[in-house]
Amino acid sequence: MGKALKHDCIGCPHCCREHQHEHSWQNILRLICGVVLFAVGILLGEVWQVALPVRLVFLLASYLVLGGDVLWHACRNIVKGRVFDENFLMSLSTLGAFALGEFYEAVAVMLLYQVGESFQARAVQRSRQAITNLMDIRPDTVTVLKDHVPQVVPPQAVAVGDVIMVKAGEKIPLDGVVLTGQSLLDTKALTGESLPRAVQVGDEVFSGCVNQSGVLTLRVTKLYGESTVAQIIELVEHAVQRKAPTENFITKFARYYTPVVVLLAVLVAVIPPLFCHGVWAEWLHRALVFLVVSCPCALVISVPLAFFVGIASSAKQGVLIKGSNYLEALQQLKTVVFDKTGTLTQGNCQVTAVLPATGYSEQQVLSYAVQAERYSQHPLAKCILASCEPTVATTELTDYQEIFGQGVRAVGEQTILVGNAELMQSQGVDYQACQQAGTKVYVAVDGVYVGCLLINDRLRADSQQAITALKQMGVQKIVMLTGDDRQVGQAVAQRLGIDEVHAELLPHAKVAQLERLLSTVQGGKVAYVGDGINDAPVLARADVGIAMGGLGSDATLEFADVVLMTDEPIRLVRAIQVAKKTKRIIWQNIIFALAVKVIFMMCGLLGVGNLWLAVFGDVGVTLLTVVNTLRLLRTKKQQ
């Protein structure tokens, strides 16, 4: 067994379903033909007492119909140098049974093997449903408006800047900005959210969402190959290629295990008759039973299938995991490191206080800050502009410079500095350090300190719940790294129950702190949770880099190992729960499969049982492990 996963095609849902449907009917037809021929052979021999040569014609025909592909794969693999696999074991044991005159048993082995294959294929198909659903979010056509005339074209033919129309009930085909209309979007396939999201003119929308109500016209912002849905599909397609250590171990185990059991079977068939005066036919029969039972199908199938189902189950909940190695690492986490702004807090900060220096007014401080920050894309700059821009006038600048990790320097009629305490110190400004809790943005003009803006952020609704749940799940240390003010960082850490906080860190300092944590953790993994491109160096350095708010973010999908598609820290808890359940099921399958096989192999050596029992032992164990693995799909999607 084991061919079901090898024939997977997750790149195109339509061709994949057609291929599966065709392959399923071929299997059913083959089983029916094989069973009919086998039944005729039995009737000829047991009821009508027909001569052996006539019976053999029907039995051989049944054997070839049911086991022809097994024999073919065995021969082809031998030519390629891959001798020891399940096809070789099944072929050797059944051909040996024919040589011993056990014709019915030989055909029955192939019949039960094919029945097991059919049941297993259906089970595997169920496990892939979440991925298939994800593939279905890719649209087949797009309605483009050319001179206000709708034209239906493939999504690959649409250019950036084109205007497209999306009717109610249709999928959003490409990323874009709403030009006209308002609607509710179903984002379940991308984020796992059950509640629809309202959009109106000016809002950004992402491919893969379903338009539930009104007609929308969108201006396309990304080509099809760069769209959110295309990136997610590519991510999922490559996820199964990154194997976990457990998966690699099982592959290596099977590589050595199969030759060993073949050698043992040869010794069982040869040594007793040569040295113990045993009957050759009896010991050859026991060796064949031993061979059939020893097939490592249950292990080779159930372990990679469990990781595959775990990744699919996480995808259903809006968590994209880029490989089974990261899924396994999630259940080994001992330390989780969080960024603050945009991760544990909402990131939509606001100016809560203006503290002018002596001789200056609040309006002057705001005016200087807005003049300097209006060209910056930094979140704090956007916060200042959003809070203050309508109330102040600006002048033209002749020079502008962003000083990495410190702030900005703007030159116009005056030289304005806006940034943190490090900027003030590096520029030789004699400033007054603010002692209030919050992010401090100091303002200086022509080297003279004029005041401070105090900015605060709000915690995310589920941050406290996520931190508590992580500790309950066995995470030993929760750490927060932030570039924000030390007082702000400590206040947030105290409210959330975070064990360790390091504030006022530049990006390279965050990496240094993470490396320190990596060097101190024994027997576990360290994860870093951030919210995008600003955290890329730390995401890359952690054992598991986890990015939040990945919907529509190219950088997040590129740099992170795990992507939480919404801005909810609690989704990390969901992903870890799936990872732990996956690991439990894998070990259940391994222990169960090995225990049953050892028992059945001993029975075969002792002469208790026959080939019928042997194939039940092999096929039955495999099916039970597959069914056990499918319990992962019953993981409840929590809101």
- Residue numbers of the domain that contains 168: 142-237
Q: Which residues pair with 401 in a beta bridge?
A: 409
Which of 259, 14, 42, 256 lies closest to 132, judged by CA? 14
- Residue for token pair 């801005």: 567
**Is 575 part of any domain?**
no
Listed range (99-108, 295-304, 501-510) with the worst mean pLDDT = 295-304
124 and 256 both lie in a single domain: yes
Distance CA 495, CA 140 (A): 49
For the stretch 614-635, pLDDT in tens is 877 778 888 888 889 888 877 5
Nearest residue to 347 via CA among 505, 569, 499: 569
Which of 456, 475, 509 corresponds to the end of one domain?
456
Residue 82: CA atoms inside 13 Å, Cβ hemisphere, count?
Answer: 10
Residue 250 — very low, low, confident or very high, per pLDDT cuts 50/70/90?
confident
pLDDT beyond 90 at 84: no
Q: Which residue has the higher pLDDT, 90 or 325?
A: 325
Q: Say yes or no: 500 and 444 in one domain.
A: no
Tell me the sheet residues that pair with 409: 401, 417
Query: In the chain, what percentage of residues exceed pLDDT 90?
Result: 37
The whole-number pLDDT of residue 192 equals 59
Residue 101, pLDDT > 90, answer no
Enter the pTM of the model.
0.72
**Within this chain, do residues 525 and 500 fall inside the same structural domain, yes or no?**
yes
Residue 419 sits in the same domain as residue 467: no
- Regarding whether 205 and 123 lie in a shared domain, the answer is no
Is residue 136 within 8 Å of 13, Cβ to Cβ? Answer: yes
Return the CATH number at 425: 3.40.1110.10
pLDDT at 49: 85
Given a cut of 50, is residue 637 above it in pLDDT?
no
Are 98 and 104 contacting, i.e. CB atoms less than 8 angstroms apart?
no
Residue 397 identity (one-letter amino acid): L
Range with the poorest average pLDDT among 328-337, 396-405, 574-583? 396-405
d(CA 335, CA 448): 44
pLDDT at 8: 42
| Paired tokens of 501 | 């906080």
Q: Within this chain, do residues 612 and 489 fall inside the same structural domain, yes or no?
A: no
From CA 190, how far away is CA 554, in angstroms rounded?
14
275 located within any domain: yes
- Of 13-17, 155-159, 416-420, 466-470, which range is least confident? 13-17
Q: Is the pLDDT of residue 340 over 50?
A: yes
The span from the CA of 97 to the CA of 526, in Å, is 54
Report the distance separating Cα 299 and Cα 2, nearest Å. Answer: 10
CB atoms within 10 A of CB 200: 12
User: Do residues 233 and 333 share a domain?
Assistant: no
User: Of 515, 532, 565, which closes a domain?
Assistant: 565
425: Cβ contacts below 8 Å, ≥ 6 apart: none
Q: How far does Cα 439 stand from its chain's mean position?
A: 36
Quick one: 329 and 405 in the same domain?
no
Tell me what the mean pLDDT of segment 178-192 comes to: 82
Task: Say what the pLDDT of residue 369 is.
Answer: 92
- Token readout for 625 is 């492990």
Helix 103-127 crosses helix 86-99 at what angle (to 10 degrees)?
160
526: CATH: 3.40.50.1000
The pairing of beta strand 176-180 with beta strand 350-356: unpaired
**Could you give the C-alpha distances from 10 to 17, 187, 307, in angstroms and in order?**
10, 21, 16
Distances (CA, A) of 171 to 136, 151, 487: 10, 16, 46
What CATH number is attached to the domain comprising 179? Answer: 2.70.150.10
Distance CA(542)–CA(41), nearest Å, equals: 64
Q: 292 and 206 in one domain?
A: no
* Residue environment code for 140-160, b if the CB has 16+ CB neighbours within 10 A, otherwise e: eebbbeeeeeeeeeebeebee
Domain annotation covers residue 581: no
82, 85, 91, 92: CA torsion to nearest 10: 90
As given in the structure block, the two tokens for residue 322 are 């880029």
Q: Mark whether 451 and 463 lie in a shared domain.
A: no
Residue 16 has pLDDT above 60, yes or no: no
Q: Which among 456, 485, 511 is the end of a domain?
A: 456
Question: Which of 21-25, 215-219, 601-605 has the highest mean predicted lDDT (pLDDT)?
Answer: 215-219
Q: Which of 120-134, 535-549, 573-587 has the lowest mean pLDDT?
A: 120-134
> Would 576 be classed as within a structural domain?
no
Spell out the residues 6+ positions from residue 91 whose beta carbon is closer than 8 angstroms to its own.
67, 70, 71, 74
* Measured distance CA(384)–CA(442) in Å, rounded: 12
Residues serving a catalytic function are: 339
At residue 147, does pLDDT exceed 90?
A: no
Q: What is the pLDDT of residues 19-28, one digit of tens each?
A: 454 556 777 8
Residue 560 within any structural domain of the chain: yes
pLDDT recorded at residue 419: 93
Q: Give the chain's domain count.
A: 4
- Kindly state whether residue 449 falls inside one of the protein's structural domains: yes
Copy the structure tokens of residue 72.
């073919």
Residue 4 pLDDT: 41
Average pLDDT in the 351-370 region? 91
- Say if 602 falls within a structural domain: yes
Do 447 and 553 contact (CB within 8 A), yes or no? Answer: no
- Residue 397: inside a domain, yes or no? yes
| Predicted local confidence at residue 500, as pLDDT | 96
Pick from 570, 534, 583: which is nearest to 555 by CA? 534
Residues 307 and 339 in one domain: no
Tell me, what's the pLDDT at 299?
82
Poorest-pLDDT segment among 6-20, 41-55, 319-333, 392-406: 6-20
Q: Kindly state whether residues 149 and 219 are assigned to the same domain.
A: yes
Q: Would the pLDDT of 444 be above 80?
A: yes
